[in-house]
Amino acid sequence: MHQEIGSFQKKASTTNQIPPGMMKLIFLTIVVSFVSAEKVFNLSFCKLKKEDFFMKKQLHINLHEVTDLILRGNEFDSFLDCSTNLENLRTLDLSQNHLQRFFFLCKEEYNLQMLNVSHNKLEYIDDNALNDRIPRLKILDLSFNKLTIVNETMLQYLTILEYLSLSHNPIRDGIHESAFWNLRALKHLDLKNISAPYFSSGFFKTLTNLSTLDLSWNPIDTIPLLPISLQELDLSGTQVISLENFYLPQLQELKLNYMPNLTSLVLNDLENLTSLEMLSMIGCKRLIQLSLWPQLGIVLPRLQRLSIKECGLETLNNELHALVQRIPVIELENNPWRCDCKLEWINLLNSTRNLSRNIRCYAPERHHAKLLAEIPNYELQCEYDSSIFYPILWTCLSLLIVSLIIAMVLVFLKRPISQWSFKGRNGDTVTYKNVVESNNDLVRILAVSEAHERNEE
Ligand SMILES: *[C@@H]1O[C@H](CO)[C@@H](O)[C@H](O)[C@H]1NC(C)=O
Ligand SMILES: *[C@@H]1O[C@H](CO)[C@@H](O)[C@H](O)[C@H]1NC(C)=O
Ligand SMILES: *[C@@H]1O[C@H](CO)[C@@H](O)[C@H](O)[C@H]1NC(C)=O
Ligand SMILES: *[C@@H]1O[C@H](CO)[C@@H](O)[C@H](O)[C@H]1NC(C)=O
Ligand SMILES: *[C@@H]1O[C@H](CO)[C@@H](O)[C@H](O)[C@H]1NC(C)=O
Ligand SMILES: *[C@@H]1O[C@H](CO)[C@@H](O)[C@H](O)[C@H]1NC(C)=O
């Protein structure tokens, strides 16, 4: 501590003229003392080091009266409550500093309700940081730090916490199974981009009040067990492939944006999301199929907004007709739409939303870049599609061959063996010749069976 103060003084004395930063400080001090009547002390972006604040700033202000202390965007590398008097403090914003540690050590109990230490350099949370001295904490922002572990004791005292963000920390699998268990009042949990490969099924089991959960941009491939109280869920940027068995009856908003592994979505899988109002799938480049099987009861009865932009959809099947007609807002821009007979039903939709003005054709060539709405229906023809035709043709042919073989076997099995071999050899010369000449399975089989038919006569 002494060394640090020394270095601060030395630095101050070497800068003889008043630098612009200092000018700003002086100006801000005036503003601040004026504002302090409202008990808000705002010193954001002043290039303050902790020594500047604790040794100088706080001499000019009655810190013990301050309720909101905003120290955002300064150069604190640690924060220790013992150096100051924060009796009435409710909000402490230390975001965008260089914090490696912070402590609440000196007073029995604080009134602190909101602590923002996001965008700092915290690698771990000391036992004396989030302790029983701040039992009123409701909002805690730990995002954009370097935390690798959330152990079972780190958050244990925060029993009335409502908002927690741990987003953008390299936590990976460092969350202890019971890390969140005491956070029974939690409503909002942000775990975006924490490199978590999975979320254990026990993580959220006591969070019965959770309404907003962000699990986006984590390399998870399955959806974990989630609290059924959820109203908003973000799974964007995850590697989830299937959304089956998803039971969240209170969910209102679901974000599935930029999901690289999602290739098809059967909307029936979302049948248990009966309160869903907003479904967003933006930038799912490999999403090529959206389907809805006929079923009893309405799928997504409350849906108000469906966004499927910048995905890989070429067409929409008519089976979506009723759904599309029902949803007030649908966004379908920037998909590689193929404007042919399969999309005709959208053009015929009687809707004031002009869905077809949303659809800009990508293919076929002659309709490229046109709006679907601009193309008269008689021009929406389906082209002879070789990519589908040939597989169908070959499937039919092989089915034919297989059934012929089966028929043959059945015919042979019905005869006594001796009779078969005698007559078979008789016809053999004819058949063999045909095989060599045609070199074609179908012909060989036809020939064989023909031969046998002849033998039978
Ligand atoms: C915390 O501060 C950061 C940056 O200063 C800000 O973006 C964020 O919204 C704040 N968090 C809360 C919960 O207000
Ligand atoms: C949790 O982590 C903190 C900080 O790293 C450590 O002091 C504490 O002992 C850990 N608790 C347990 C139960 O491991
Ligand atoms: C996730 O965090 C990493 C750094 O930890 C960053 O490079 C990346 O851009 C973040 N991704 C998103 C989608 O925010
Ligand atoms: C998702 O796709 C990426 C490549 O696009 C692949 O590396 C990854 O293994 C896939 N994940 C799953 C769960 O299939
Ligand atoms: C189309 O909408 C108009 C006005 O909403 C309505 O009068 C008409 O009957 C509708 N036609 C069809 C085919 O649904
Ligand atoms: C839909 O199209 C009609 C006629 O083309 C136009 O009058 C109306 O304003 C459009 N509505 C919207 C919401 O774009």
Question: Could you give phi then psi for residue 379, rounded to 5 degrees?
Answer: -90, -5
> What's the pLDDT score for residue 13?
38
- Angstrom distance (rounded) from CA 169 to CA 195: 8
Nearest residue to 49 via CA among 70, 67, 27, 71: 71
- Angstrom distance (rounded) from CA 386 to CA 46: 68
Q: Is the pTM of this model over 0.85?
A: no
The answer to whether the CB of 107 falls within 8 A of the CB of 82 is: no
- CA 130 – ligand 6 centroid, Å: 57
Say whether the peptide bond before residue 364 is cis (omega within 30 degrees of 0): yes
**446's tokens:** 């036809």
> What's the pLDDT score for residue 450?
52
Atom of ligand 4 nearest to the CA of 221: 13
Residues in the chain predicted with pLDDT less than 50, given as ranges, are 1-18, 26, 29-37, 422-438, 442-443, 445-446, 457
Answer whether 168 contacts ligand 3 (Cβ < 6 A): yes
- CA 165 – ligand 1 centroid, Å: 10
> What's the pLDDT score for residue 432?
43
Q: Tens digits of per-residue pLDDT, 290-333?
A: 999 998 889 999 999 999 999 999 999 999 999 998 999 999 99
Q: Tens digits of per-residue pLDDT, 125-147?
A: 988 899 999 999 999 999 999 99
Atom of ligand 1 nearest to the CA of 163: 13
Nearest residue to 297 via CA among 277, 325, 267: 267
DSSP letter assigned to residue 98: -
- CA 141 – ligand 1 centroid, Å: 7
> What's the pLDDT score for residue 438?
47
> What's the pLDDT score for residue 387?
65
Handedness of CA 167, 169, 172, 178 (dihedral sign): negative
CB-based burial label for 448 (10 Å; 0-12, 13-18, 19+): buried
Nearest residue to 94 via CA among 62, 142, 59, 132: 142
Write down the domain spans for the chain: 386-450
Nearest residue to 451 via CA among 394, 408, 388, 410: 408
Residues having CB within 6 Å of any atom of ligand 1 = 72, 95-96, 116, 118-119, 139, 141
**435's tokens:** 């095989």
Q: Name the residue with the closest Cα to ligand 2, atom 1.
A: 151
Please choose from 166, 168, 195 the residue to mutate so as to test ligand 3's pocket, defined by most ligand atoms within 8 A of CB. 168
**270's tokens:** 């979302």
Please choose from 151, 154, 156 the residue to mutate so as to test ligand 2's pocket, defined by most ligand atoms within 8 A of CB. 151
- Angstrom distance (rounded) from CA 287 to CA 290: 8
> What's the pLDDT score for residue 360?
93
The answer to whether the CB of 273 falls within 8 A of the CB of 298 is: no
